[in-house]
Structure 1
Amino acid sequence: MSNRLCVPPVSFGYLLPVVVAVFVHGSIFYLLWNSSEQNTFGSQSVCIRSILDGEEYCRPSCEFGHFSLYGMKQCHPWLTCESLQDVNIVRTIGGGLVKKVYLARWRNFNVAYSQLTASHYRRDFQQGIKILKHFHGRPKMIQLIGLCDDIMITEFHSLGEATKFSLHLNTFPERNTIFQRFLFCIDYVEILSELHSSTENVTYVMCDTNSLNKVFTQYLLSEDMRLVLNDVDSVAEVTKVDGKWRGIKCGKYELDGEFVAPEQRWGFEADYDDNEMKAYDEKTDIWKIPSVCNYFLGNSAEATSIQMRLLDIHMACKHLNSEARPTAQLILRTYRNVLNQVFQINEEK
């Protein structure tokens, strides 16, 4: 497969009017940026501006073992088994093999109530809890609220899964801009960067992402239209042992299709043999970045302009040799540079 397939064909005739249009509307993009991305005030509060009613909502930042929801003035300890008597299930809102998810109410707040589906998935369920604890306080990770045996309470986001991003952009046309779409790309790579570089001896890999649609089911949309990583049950750990990285395999079954990285495919005429399948690492996430970002950007002339600026880094993501692919940190820096070049906004935090 040619590396150039990672970016759709580009019509160069689009570029001049697109660049002009981007700068003409620069003031609009700047307003959207200020309204949706000024999330942290000092070190004490986190604020968003909801697209649903235009209002600003804040909550305090909390230390490990505590949580807060938008509208709360103080942090609260994680809910325990004793606290569950204050949690009332409203209705089913989702789920999969590992857990079933309900909308629930706690003290007039909506929360997500997740319950293990079967005991043989407990290891995956506990892995998800471990990941949420590890990334406590990260704004683009779902917030853990409480635990009790095979029950987990997390923050609820009313806009739902990222699979609905196009629907919400159409519902709120003032946000259906190339600027907003590119912010989704930045969020996605920023989350991967967090996963890949959070500790010195462990790198986290998104395993349950073997198709484009499956990727989007792992994320939620916050009320200010930013990505939040939600489903982390299948996040695997690449660990360093005796100075060497020990790879992983995402399940014991054969993966296929051009969306998954080449090293994740069997590639032999003989029947699949998991014992002979080689392990891999976080560079499988890198392979998928161009496909995910291009889908977020869409097919407009403005999207084509952004894709042209990302052409080199996206081609590098599709290198057949996984070791030659860039890191998520490098891709994030490239994305932020493009954001600054096109919209004159510095996204560094």
Structure 2
Amino acid sequence: MDWKRESSGKVRGKALQKPRKESRKMPGGREVARKMWARNLDEGGARRSRRHGDAAPGGQERARAQGRAPSGGAAALHGPHERPPLPLPRPALHLAPALHGGPHTLPLRPLPDGADEQLLPVAVLRAAEDGSEVFLSEWKERKVALSRLTRLEVRDDFLHGLRMLKSLQSEHVVTLLGYCEDDNSILTEYHPLGPLSSLEATLNLSKYRSTNTWQHRLQLALGYVAIIDFLHRSPLGTLVMCDSSDLPKTLSQYLLTANFSIVLNDLDALPLVNRSTGALVKCGHRELRGDFVAPEQLWPYGEDVPFHDDLMPAYDEKIDIWKIPDVSSFLLGHVEGSDMVRFHLFDIHKACKSQTPAERPTAQDVLDTYQKVLHLLRDTATSQTREML
């Protein structure tokens, strides 16, 4: 891709105060205004602002086109024929080639000393306790979510999530727009309806009340099961959704899109089950409690024996199947017709709740049943409507 065509792109985080502007003369006499603000925490915990600029000084287009950074260093390439990135003189944001047509980078430059530091995120898309802050930003006149790590002790999880994002790009996963490993930053598509946990509040809005039907809700439940099926049969192998110790936590891992579908947003806890080697998983290193988690996730030795992670047995992907009925019940809600849907799903949900993991159906089995129920009820509703006419 011609770099100069991309140079008009800009990323800017929305601030409480009027931001500064900087214009640079580009080849051909074209002025390009560049703005980007995002709060970052350094090792001392002090806040500092950063600005994202993607215009190179005059005379450096040739170096960029040859895969060289503006300062003379080698620019990391990212694409179908990816090679190990070389050190950069400053952090760079890699733009996904599938979206932008070719490998290139956008340098992340800090604001000069004395710049406005009172910058706050307009929308926090992920809780701060997850170890990152997410800023609503804008790039090339489209809203994006800029996620930055704030706790270095969970950097391994952060990078694991990035690797999963790069490897699992599909209709089931939020779109990755860019990333910068050196700066612990990830740029993804922004979904204004937010996490799946806010579904009820969204459907109570007047503009969305027409979609608050059992048909749309069952379609959401079907989409959720489709994501679980995708993870269990992913290109990387059988992945387990470990960030699901309770219903609110599970719902927070997914986003509701503008066309009322579901995408997986948080991928930093997806361990791999390998049956050929006997490799199983354990979700975290603490004791789990409650009815939401599968029985095999509970401490098996009673209250008289203190919990010890080394003694806790591992398990497989069937823990995700156990949780499907609870998540689906939330998604179906209590609208007219939802009880009818639950009745038709009763048998498959009962099988999901089997105490023996091996007796539970696969995600593909559940997905097939959901699709059959959706088609059956739609056909029944259509026939009833025709009879009334």
Q: TM-score, normalised by structure 2?
A: 0.66
Question: The residue matched to 2:324 in structure 1 has which SS?
Answer: helix
1:275 pairs, out of 310, 313, 316, with: 310
Alignment match, 1:321: 356
Are residues 78 and 180 of structure 1, via their aligned partners in 2, closer, same or farther at CA, if it must alter by over 3 Å?
A: farther
Q: Provide the rounded CA distance (Å) in 1 between the counterparts of 2:377 and 2:109.
A: 49
The letter for the 2-side match of 1:224 is N
Q: Which residue in 2 is equivalent to 1:263?
A: 296
CA distance in 2, matches of 1:112, 1:164: 18
- Aligned-residue offset at 1:82: 1.9
How many angstroms does 1:134 deviate by?
Answer: 1.2
Partner of 1:308: 343
Secondary structure in 1 aligned to 2:107? helix
Q: How many matched pairs?
A: 272
1:144 maps to 2:176? yes
Report matched runs for 1:56-205 at 5 Å: 65-68=96-99, 75-77=100-102, 80-82=105-107, 91-93=122-124, 94-95=126-127, 96-136=129-169, 138-148=170-180, 149=182, 150-171=184-205, 172-199=208-235, 202-205=237-240
Q: Residues 29-40 of structure 1 correspond to what in structure 2 (within 5 A)?
A: none
Partner of 2:36: none
Residues in 2 aligned to 1:313 and 1:105: alpha-carbon distance in whole angstroms: 44
In 2, distance between residues paired with 1:126 and 1:303?
Answer: 40
1:291 and 2:323 correspond: no
Bigger relative contact order (CA 8 A; separation at least 6): 1
Structure 2 Cα separation of the partners of residues 231 and 331 of structure 1: 23
Residues 193-232 of structure 1: matches in 2 within 5 Å? 193-199=229-235, 202-232=237-267
Identity rate, percent: 37
SS in 1 for 2:137: strand
Structure 1: gaps of 5 or more residues: 1-62, 69-74
Aligned-partner Cα distance in 2 for 1:293–1:176: 15
Structure 1, residues 102-124: CA drift from partner, whole Å, max 9, x if none?
A: 11111211111011112211110
CA contact (8 A) 1:145 1:154 kept: yes
Report the alpha carbon displacement of residue 81 of structure 1 after superposing the two structures with TM.
Answer: 5.0
User: Matches of 1:287 and 1:203 in 2, distance apart?
Assistant: 16
Q: How does 1:22-33 map to 2 (within 5 A)?
A: none
Which structure carries more helix by proportion?
1
Q: Is 2:342 the counterpart of 1:342?
A: no
- Which of the pair has more CA radius of gyration? 2
SS at match of 1:246: coil
Structure 1 runs (4+) deviating above 3 angstroms are 75-81, 88-92
SS in 2 for 1:82: strand
- Mapped to 2, the partners of 1:128 and 1:84 lie a distance apart of 25
2:248 partner amino acid: N
Describe the SS at the equivalent of 1:209. coil
- Where does the alignment leave 5 or more consecutive residues of structure 2 unmatched? 1-78, 81-95, 111-118, 381-389
Q: Distance in 2 between matches of 1:76 and 1:152?
A: 19
Equivalent-residue separation in structure 1 for 2:97 and 2:244 (angstroms): 30
Deviations 1:273-315 (A, max 9, x none): 1111000111000000001101111234511111111111000
- AA in 1 matched with 2:204: N
CA offsets, 1:156-202, max 9 Å, x none?
10111111111121211110100011011001000000000114x72
Asked whether the 8 Å contact 2:229–2:363 carries over to 1, the reply is yes
Seen in structure 2, the aligned counterparts of structure 1 residues 238 and 297 have a Cα distance that, compared at 3 Å, is same
Q: Is the 8 A contact 1:98 1:124 kept in 2?
A: no
Tell me if structure 1 keeps the 8 A contact 2:213–2:336.
no
Asked if the contact 2:97–2:103 (Cα under 8 Å) also holds between the matched residues in 1, the reply is yes
- Secondary structure class of the residue paired with 1:248: coil
Query: 1:36 maps to what in 2?
Result: none
SS in 2 for 1:235: coil
Contact 1:79 1:146 (8 Å CA) reproduced: no
Label 1:90 to 1:244 Cα distance change in 2 as closer, same or farther (>3 A): closer
SS at 1:91's partner residue?
A: coil
In structure 2, relative to structure 1, the CA distance for the partners of 1:89 and 1:113 (3 Å cut) is farther
| 1:130 CA displacement | 1.0
The answer as to whether partners of 1:78 and 1:147 remain within 8 angstroms in 2 is no
CA distance in 1, matches of 2:352, 2:109: 45
Counterparts of 1:101 and 1:67, CA distance in 2: 23
Deviation of 1:239 (Å):
2.6
What is the one-letter code of the residue matched to 1:91? V
User: Please, what TM-score do these two structures have when normalized by structure 1?
Assistant: 0.73
